Amino acid sequence: MLYWTVIFLIIALVAGVLGFGGVASAASGIAKILFVIFIILFLVSLVAGRGWI
């Protein structure tokens, strides 16, 4: 999941440098969403691994 976040972040940076604003905006939005999902899944797995649930 984190791998795809980094890929979309790189796409957003390259598109922003080349002047493709719409593509950069979409790719950065996807990267943000994937990063949030990654953090949530990481925290859930961290809590579940300790046996607190």
The per-residue pLDDT for 21 is 84
The per-residue pLDDT for 51 is 58
Alpha-carbon gap, residue 53 to 47, rounded angstroms = 7
Does this model's pTM top 0.85? My answer is no
The per-residue pLDDT for 5 is 81
Buried b (16+ CB within 10 A) or exposed e, 23-41: ebeebbebbeebbeeeeee
Confidence of residue 16 (pLDDT cuts 50, 70, 90): confident
Residues 19-51 have pLDDT tens digits of: 888 888 888 888 889 889 999 988 988 888 875
